[in-house]
Structure 1
Amino acid sequence: MKINTPQDIASALRDARKSKKWTQTELADRLGVYQKDISKYELQPDKISADMLLRLCAMLDLKIDIGPMYDIPLQCQEVDF
């Protein structure tokens, strides 16, 4: 799934949680946080810290793939020494 907005993050997290058939409370218990925190992350994803996002992704078997937005061909030049 391509993520373009914070709401896309929320959808990906919610979908992954539901695919595991976990409630917000079950996910919260596994992460050592409160259910209200999971609800907040799913409703206001712009409030998720980088650390918590990594923990959520690990728990939900999601990966974060960071790379260039566009495929830019690498340009090589021959150099005489």
Structure 2
Amino acid sequence: MDYPLLTTMQLGHVLQSARKLRGLTQAEMGERLALSQKRISALERNPGSITVEQLLGLCSALGLELTIAPRTTPPMAAKGARAPRSKVEW
């Protein structure tokens, strides 16, 4: 199943759900990734602080893959909401 993510909090929920679905505790996940249980907890609660390396490691340990694809729905701005401003210039 695909999980389109538009916010970091959605990422946290997906990571936590995938971990629990596989019957892993935060401590067990931390052992697999050489991270502490506290760090796994922090990543699930506030995934905005995750590094790309940690995200890819979590995905691998959870049997997930990261895919970046064009949106199939209109961007938030088209619905009247403002998208977060990026500091990166494309």
How would you bin the TM-score normalised by the shorter chain?
0.7 to 0.9
Higher relative contact order (CA 8 A, sep 6+): 1
Matched, 1:15 2:17: yes
RMSD (Å), alpha carbons? 1.3
**Identity percentage over the alignment?**
35
Between structure 1 and structure 2, the one with the greater Rg is 1
State the shift of 1:58 in Å: 0.5
Query: Please, which runs of 5 or more residues in structure 2 have no aligned partner?
Result: 74-90
Query: How many aligned residue pairs are there?
Result: 71
TM-score, length-scaled by structure 2: 0.74
Q: Which residue of 2 aligns with 1:50?
A: 52
TM-score, length-scaled by structure 1: 0.82
Matched, 1:60 2:62: yes
- Runs of 4 or more, structure 1, over 3 Å off, are none
Per-residue displacement from partner, 1:10-56 (whole Å, max 9, x unpaired)? 01100000001110000001111100000000011000001100000
2:31 is paired with a residue of what secondary structure?
A: helix
The AA in structure 2 aligned to 1:24 is: Q
